[in-house]
């Protein structure tokens, strides 16, 4: 693969995402050397066992100097610590990226720590699972999914190009957005839906949950995500999420008014608009798995 | 089948649900005579074609007198009209039920129209689809799902028993609840989630929807439901839904405060509570189809 120029890859955080990147790279080119960095020996051993990584390290300092590409795959809150560790060790041409779900804060933070050399470019491979850990990692996790890159004005085009090729080779469709545009979009299509799913999950009485059907199951699915990872996502993108909450709440109050007034045409108009929009966009691009309620 | 005593069944509204009831009954006992009542000739013809019904009628008055069981399967808003039509024609032992998703108003309305003889008992077979029409009807739509019966103090136990047997024979697990308890539970596990899905669907900019992934797809799935049917559901259960909206909004504002204060432990506590509750209930009873985000 064209990771021929990426002979050494370091993956910090060898869980579901980091492990899947490693397995996908190995599947394409078994010659690439992958160093895994983690905070728990047992996870690293599992990553060695499944053949995701070649060497295991509890400290990124051991491998920062030889990496052509460093991929941060821990919860976002731990990025700064690792960036500070590797910053003085990195080769001049090394590229640093991540697989996190928020970008503005991370890109700003990385520029502050690594300098404005542009060696950090944010990546958001939009694949994952409610499952956690390298045991669930799969070489094909990214196939067919979208990866959003968030280069800035200080990113050399060649760096963006190399990273774009890297994700494309793992089977992803790569798109570019600014970190701010990425975060605004994600707040509304991912992060706020996660908040909604959690709140909705806590709303019914326990007895009511016994008669919940597939509609409730699917609407709340995101609430089974990893709390630590999502805590970091919500906090690092809280400005955009708060804007989403306020926009949502305004519409919720409007709908509340329609119900109080028993405004049948108004309610139907709302339902029709939502159905039309969904059927023309999301449901078309990603067919529903289940259509039963 | 024990519908031996239910020789003639009338189904008013031969769409997905009515058609599936008909096909399921026919699959068990081809001798049962099923009359289909609809407002559109073309749907009735399709129902005849697929063998769901034996006779087709544009007016329930034609078959009210010979029905042992009448099942209302139109949108809830049309129930009253049909009940008024059949009320003077019904045999003394005939049972009337429905397949609607709200119960308090319907049960009250039916008692008012049919008298307090107890011949109406609300049924809510919790199966369905975003798809509409008899073309998508299936004999096995109800297999394994729950059906909630809502008898009242004036319902003769024998009527409840017969109806319970009817739904059990279609493969459903039958539970009993009061109409009020049913509506409160449904407001929170079905009707309000539908409202949420619709509001969420309308929140992002159109361009953002292009990068929506399976999480957004699943959280908004309910928004593809039939607007006319859901308009009636939301309006006939608006009191319980409004209570759900207010309870939800209070929690949303609490979460908003946590984000404004960047309260990491508070956010994590919320996410953990939602995950634990989901993993112990809904996700256990109804395994997720997709675990990818």
Do B160 and B202 form a contact (C-beta atoms < 8 A)? no
Range B2-177 has CATH code 3.40.50.720: yes
Give pLDDT < 50 ranges for chain A. Answer: 1-4, 292-293
Cα–Cα dist A162/A118, whole Å: 13
Assess A243–B contact: CB distance below 8 Å, yes or no: no
Rounded to 5°, the CA angle A74-A30-A63 comes to 45
Q: Does the pLDDT at position B281 exceed 60?
A: yes
A264 to chain B: which residues are within 8 Å by CB? 231, 235
Length of chain A: 293
pLDDT at A130: 65
Read out DSSP for chain A?
-GGGG--EEEEES-SHHHHHHHHHHHHH-TTSEEEEE-S-HHHHHHHHHTTS-SEEES-GGGTGGG-SEEEE-S-GGGHHHHHHHHTTT--TT-EEEE--S--HHHHHHHHHHH-TTS-B-EEEE----S--SGGG--TTTTTT-EEEEE--TTS-HHHHHHHHHHHHHTTPEEEE--HHHHHHHHIIIIIHHHHHHHHHHHSS-HHHHTT--HHHHHHTGGGGS-HHHHHHHHHHTHHHHHHHHHHHHHHHHHHHHHHHTT-HHHHHHHHHHHHHHHHHTHHHHS--S----
B214, B228, B233: best to mutate for the A interface, most A CBs within 10 A: B214
B215 to chain A: which residues are within 8 Å by CB? 189-190, 193-194, 221-222
B260 to chain A: which residues are within 8 Å by CB? 238, 242
Cα–Cα dist A272/B25, whole Å: 33
Chain B residue with minimum CA distance to A216: B189
**CB-based contact B127 A220, cutoff 8 Å:** no
Angle between helices B227-236 and B192-201 (to 10 degrees): 130
A288 to chain B: which residues are within 8 Å by CB? 130, 217-218, 221, 224
Cα–Cα dist A52/A246, whole Å: 43
Assess A64–B contact: CB distance below 8 Å, yes or no: no
pLDDT, tens only, B165-209? 999 999 999 999 999 999 999 999 999 999 999 999 999 999 899
pLDDT at B290: 62
A227 to chain B: which residues are within 8 Å by CB? 268, 271-272, 275
Chain A residue with minimum CA distance to B251: A199
Structure tokens belonging to residue B101: 């998703």
Q: How confident is the model at residue B2 (pLDDT cuts 50, 70, 90)?
A: very low
B259 to chain A: which residues are within 8 Å by CB? 234-235, 238, 241-242, 245
Q: Provide the terminal-to-terminal Cα distance of chain B, rounded to the nearest Å.
A: 45
pLDDT at A290: 61
Assess A219–B contact: CB distance below 8 Å, yes or no: yes
Range B182-285 has CATH code 1.10.3660.10: yes
**DSSP reduced 3-state for B288:** coil
Domain ranges of chain A: 2-177, 182-285
Cα–Cα dist A78/B243, whole Å: 41
pLDDT at B1: 46
Chain A residue with minimum CA distance to B247: A203
Q: What is the mean pLDDT of residues B91-110?
A: 94
Chain A residue with minimum CA distance to B234: A259
**CB-based contact B283 A217, cutoff 8 Å:** yes
**CB-based contact A193 B216, cutoff 8 Å:** yes
Rounded to 5°, the CA angle A133-A136-A138 comes to 120
Q: What is the mean pLDDT of residues B238-242?
A: 96
Structure tokens belonging to residue B164: 């319970």
Task: State what percent of residues in chain B have pLDDT above 90.
Answer: 84
Assess B51–A contact: CB distance below 8 Å, yes or no: no
User: What contacts B285, CB < 8 A, 6 or more positions away?
Assistant: A210, A212
**CB-based contact A216 B252, cutoff 8 Å:** no
pLDDT at B132: 80
Q: Does the pLDDT at position B155 exceed 80?
A: yes
**CB-based contact A196 B219, cutoff 8 Å:** yes
Cα–Cα dist A124/B5, whole Å: 62
Assess A275–B contact: CB distance below 8 Å, yes or no: yes
Residue B95: which H helix or E strand, with range?
A: strand B95-98
Q: Which residue has the tokens 């609407």?
A: A219
Phi, psi of B8 (to 5 degrees): -120, 120
Assess B244–A contact: CB distance below 8 Å, yes or no: yes
**CB-based contact B262 A201, cutoff 8 Å:** no
Chain B residue with minimum CA distance to A242: B256
pLDDT, tens only, A201-225? 999 999 899 889 889 999 999 999 9
Q: How confident is the model at residue B214 (pLDDT cuts 50, 70, 90)?
A: confident
B105 to chain A: which residues are within 8 Å by CB? none
For chain A positions 197-216, those within 8 Å of chain B (CB to CB) are 197-216
pLDDT at A69: 97
**CB-based contact B200 A193, cutoff 8 Å:** yes
B274 to chain A: which residues are within 8 Å by CB? 197-199, 201-202, 220, 223
**CB-based contact A128 B209, cutoff 8 Å:** no
pLDDT at A235: 95
**CB-based contact A255 B279, cutoff 8 Å:** no
Q: Does the pLDDT at position B93 exceed 60?
A: yes
Integer-rounded Cα Rg, in Å, for chain B is 21
Length of chain B: 293
Chain A residue with minimum CA distance to B275: A224
Predicted complex ipTM: 0.84
Dihedral sign, Cα of residue B176, residue B177, residue B183, residue B189: negative
Q: How confident is the model at residue B130 (pLDDT cuts 50, 70, 90)?
A: low
Angle between helices B104-114 and B79-86 (to 10 degrees): 20
Q: What is the mean pLDDT of residues B244-267?
A: 97
pLDDT at A1: 46
Assess A276–B contact: CB distance below 8 Å, yes or no: no
């Amino acid at each position: 693969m064209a990771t021929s120029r990426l002979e050494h890859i370091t993956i910090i955080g060898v869980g579901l995402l980091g492990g899947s990147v490693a397995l996908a790279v190995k599947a394409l080119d078994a010659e690439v050397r992958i160093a895994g960095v983690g905070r728990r020996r047992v996870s690293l051993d599992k990553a060695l066992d499944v053949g995701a990584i070649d060497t295991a390290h509890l400290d990124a300092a051991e491998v920062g100097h030889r990496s052509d590409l460093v991929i941060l795959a821990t919860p976002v809150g731990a990025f700064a610590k690792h960036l500070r560790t590797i910053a003085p060790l990195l080769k001049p041409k090394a590229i640093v990226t991540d697989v996190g779900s928020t970008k503005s804060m991370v890109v700003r933070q990385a520029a502050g720590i690594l300098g404005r050399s542009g060696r950090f470019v944010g990546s958001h491979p939009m694949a994952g699972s409610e499952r956690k850990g390298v045991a669930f990692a799969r070489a094909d996790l990214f196939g067919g999914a979208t990866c959003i890159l968030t280069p800035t004005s200080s990113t050399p085009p060649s760096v963006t190009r190399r990273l774009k090729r890297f994700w494309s080779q793992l089977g992803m469709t790569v798109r570019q957005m600014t970190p701010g545009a990425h975060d605004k979009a994600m707040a509304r299509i991912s992060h706020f839906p996660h908040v909604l799913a959690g709140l909705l999950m806590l709303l019914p009485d326990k007895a009511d949950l016994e008669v919940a059907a597939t509609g409730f199951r699917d609407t709340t699915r995101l609430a089974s995500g990893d709390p630590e990872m999502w805590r970091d996502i919500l906090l690092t993108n809280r400005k955009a999420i708060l804007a989403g909450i306020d926009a949502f709440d305004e519409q919720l109050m409007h709908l509340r008014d329609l119900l109080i007034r028993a405004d049948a045409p108004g309610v139907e108009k709302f339902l029709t608009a939502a159905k039309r929009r969904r059927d023309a966009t999301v449901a078309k691009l990603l067919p529903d798995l289940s259509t039963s309620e």
